[in-house]
Amino acid sequence: MRHQIRNRIIPLTLILLAATALLAVAVACRGSADATPTPEFSLPTALPSPEGVPAAGAGSEDTAARTSEYWTGPTTWEPEDVSSLERVTQELVAPPFLPEHEQVNTGEPRVLEVRMVVEEKEIEVAPGAFMWAFTFNGSVPGPIIVVHEGDYVELTLVNPSSSELLHNIDFHASVGALGGGSLTQVGPGQEVVLRFRAVKPGVFVYHCAPGGTMVPWHVTHGMNGAIMVLPKDGLRDPAGNPVPYDRAYYIGEQDYYLPRDANGDFKRYDGPAASLVDDLEAMKTLIPTHIVFNGVTGTLQGDGQLTANVGENVLIVHAQANRQSYPHLIGGHGDYVWERGGFNDPPELDLETWIIAAGSAAASIHTIRQPGTYVYLSHNLIEAFAYDAKAILVAEGEWNNDLMEQVKPPGPIQ
Ligand SMILES: [Cu+2]
């Protein structure tokens, strides 16, 4: 018996040795073909200890902290000196509005200071459908930041002690450290300051990304927003001519996955973390229970409808942090559309519908030529009307019969 086992073990050992040798050769070949090591990113799912969080403003003596599991940056590090740059505080505002900003700013780069405070709060997504939202500054989506290419964004992220959960922020507009996610982990009662340079002009998503399945859990609980990085000389058409906008709106499209009880009713929970287990099951169906614009159903309709005047260029920034969307303006067009969000790309002209990829934002300018009611929606019409992925835009001004006229009103067939 023992002999039989030994007879099996020896060939097995040989096979394992051969496999190991082959693997070593494969790794060596890969290493010579591609000298850049594959980075291994992993984010902690638990609150880091205070010593594990890199200290703001610390110098090279902080190397040990910065090479901890929360930081994949250089092994030596000196703070960047931005003391000579103008500092501006940007007062963030609730969606669908944008903070005060200039469309053109060809001056020196600036440091824009912004402040975001986490707020975990229960919202009523639709009548009878409650959810604990995880928010930046209390809104879904979080506020939009507007800067110019080359500017620095200096964010103070505050997680008040009233929170239950760890949060952070991943800026798709930034470079390094998982979009800042690994440098901004803040537990309840902590704040952190992150500065990054906006080197790519365009519209970009930001979102909370605390690691693992916490990432989609936080994002689908509303913890996402957008930043617009304008070219220094403003938006341009494909020929390079300026395309200024007269007003701007910001839409965050949100998919929610709310758990139901045995009767099919939406469940309600006592606190932010209580729904986690049920939420993970609901999320993994990949079938949203709600798809809305700006937090809850109907936000951009009725009292919240968007307004414009005939003759204006209306800019709409539309972000979707987790899912695709198909914007369309019923009764109009996307006169200029930066479908993938990058302002280094010339805009597409005169589109009927465009696509927003999951985890991105698009910018579109609509020249309003007729008064009346427009519907800005996702042209998956089930998502627009059976869910509520839509906004109403009402324009005032003079009707143009040359563009459209009802030649004969509805009446009996003659
Ligand atoms: Cu979060």
Give 185-222 pLDDT, tens digit per residue: 999 999 999 999 999 999 999 999 999 999 999 999 99
Phi, psi (5° rounding) for residue 225? -165, -160
Q: Which three-class secondary structure string do you get for 220-266?
A: CCCCEEEEEEECCCCCECCCCCECCCCEEEEEEEEEECCCECCCCCE
Q: Are residues 178 and 256 in the same domain?
A: no
The whole-angstrom separation of Cα 188 and Cα 43 is: 18
Q: Let me know: does 109 contact 158? Beta carbons within 8 Å.
A: no
- Residue 32, in any domain of the structure: no
pLDDT confidence bin for 35, thresholds 50/70/90: very low
State yes or no: pLDDT of 11 exceeds 60: no
Is 366 one of the catalytic residues? no
Q: Are residues 203 and 252 in the same domain?
A: no
- Residue 257, in any domain of the structure: yes
- Residue 4, in any domain of the structure: no
Query: How many other β-carbons are positioned within 10 Å of the β-carbon of residue 41?
Result: 11
So what's the pLDDT on residue 75?
A: 54
Enumerate long-range contacts of 171-176, CB under 8 Å, 24 or more apart. Answer: 171/196, 171/204, 171/206, 171/227, 172/204, 172/205, 172/206, 172/359, 172/360, 173/198, 173/200, 173/202, 173/204, 173/206, 173/227, 173/229, 174/198, 175/199, 176/73
- Residue 202, in any domain of the structure: yes
Q: Are residues 266 and 367 in the same domain?
A: yes
CA of 41 to the centre of ligand 1 (A): 19
Q: Are residues 115 and 254 in the same domain?
A: no
Is 379 one of the catalytic residues? yes
> How many domains does the chain contain in total?
2
CATH code, domain with 259: 2.60.40.420
The whole-angstrom separation of Cα 230 and Cα 219 is: 25
Percent of the chain predicted with pLDDT > 90: 81
Averaged pLDDT for residues 161-184: 96
The whole-angstrom separation of Cα 208 and Cα 186 is: 11
Averaged pLDDT for residues 360-385: 98
Record the tokens describing residue 94, joined without a space. 């609730």
Q: Let me know: does 294 contact 251? Beta carbons within 8 Å.
A: yes
pTM (two decimals): 0.83
Residue of higher predicted confidence among 4 and 287: 287
State yes or no: pLDDT of 407 exceeds 70: yes
Low-confidence winner among 49-58, 252-261, 359-368, 369-378 (lowest mean pLDDT): 49-58
Q: Which helix (H) or strand (E) holds 277?
A: helix 276-283
Boundary (domain end) residue, out of 169, 195, 230: 230
Query: How many other β-carbons are positioned within 10 Å of the β-carbon of residue 15?
Result: 10
- Alpha helices for 77-223 (secondary structure H): 214-219
CA of 208 to the centre of ligand 1 (A): 5
Q: Are residues 270 and 360 in the same domain?
A: yes
State yes or no: pLDDT of 54 exceeds 90: no
Low-confidence winner among 62-71, 183-192, 280-289 (lowest mean pLDDT): 62-71
Q: Are residues 325 and 281 in the same domain?
A: yes
CA of 166 to the centre of ligand 1 (A): 6
Q: Let me know: does 185 contact 48? Beta carbons within 8 Å.
A: yes
- Residue 410, in any domain of the structure: no
CA of 211 to the centre of ligand 1 (A): 10
Is 148 one of the catalytic residues? no
Averaged pLDDT for residues 313-331: 98
The secondary structure of 119-138 as a DSSP string is EEEEEEEETTEEEEEEEETT
**Residue 307: strand pairing partners:** 394
Record the tokens describing residue 249, joined without a space. 């709106």
Record the tokens describing residue 22, joined without a space. 């082959």
Using DSSP, state whether 356 is helix, strand or coil: strand
Is 101 one of the catalytic residues? no
Q: Which residue in the list 116, 131, 214, 223 is annotated as catalytic?
A: 223
State yes or no: pLDDT of 333 exceeds 60: yes
Q: Are residues 263 and 331 in the same domain?
A: yes
So what's the pLDDT on residue 73?
A: 58
- Residue 237, in any domain of the structure: no
Record the tokens describing residue 161, joined without a space. 């002690």
Q: Which residue in the list 69, 124, 265, 352 is annotated as catalytic?
A: 352
State yes or no: pLDDT of 25 exceeds 80: no
Q: Are residues 357 and 291 in the same domain?
A: yes
So what's the pLDDT on residue 319?
A: 98
Buried b (16+ CB within 10 A) or exposed e, 279-300: beebbeeeebbbbbbbbbbbbb
- Residue 6, in any domain of the structure: no
State yes or no: pLDDT of 80 exceeds 90: no
Q: Let me know: does 292 contact 256? Beta carbons within 8 Å.
A: yes
State yes or no: pLDDT of 50 exceeds 60: no
Q: Are residues 271 and 218 in the same domain?
A: no
Boundary (domain end) residue, out of 173, 202, 230: 230
Averaged pLDDT for residues 95-102: 98
State yes or no: pLDDT of 128 exceeds 80: yes
- Residue 94, in any domain of the structure: yes
Q: Are residues 90 and 142 in the same domain?
A: yes
pLDDT confidence bin for 77, thresholds 50/70/90: low
Q: Which residue in the list 154, 328, 335, 339 is annotated as catalytic?
A: 328
State yes or no: pLDDT of 12 exceeds 50: no
pLDDT confidence bin for 79, thresholds 50/70/90: confident
CA of 8 to the centre of ligand 1 (A): 53
With CA atoms as reference, report the closest residue to 319 among 383, 368, 364: 364
Q: Are residues 178 and 277 in the same domain?
A: no
Averaged pLDDT for residues 369-392: 98
Structural domain that includes position 310: 247-396
Q: Which residue in the list 170, 312, 339, 388 is annotated as catalytic?
A: 170
So what's the pLDDT on residue 9?
A: 42
So what's the pLDDT on residue 134?
A: 98
Q: Are residues 201 and 298 in the same domain?
A: no
Q: Let me know: does 122 contact 132? Beta carbons within 8 Å.
A: yes
Name residues whose C-beta falls within 8 Å of residue 18's C-beta, 6 or more positions apart in sequence: none
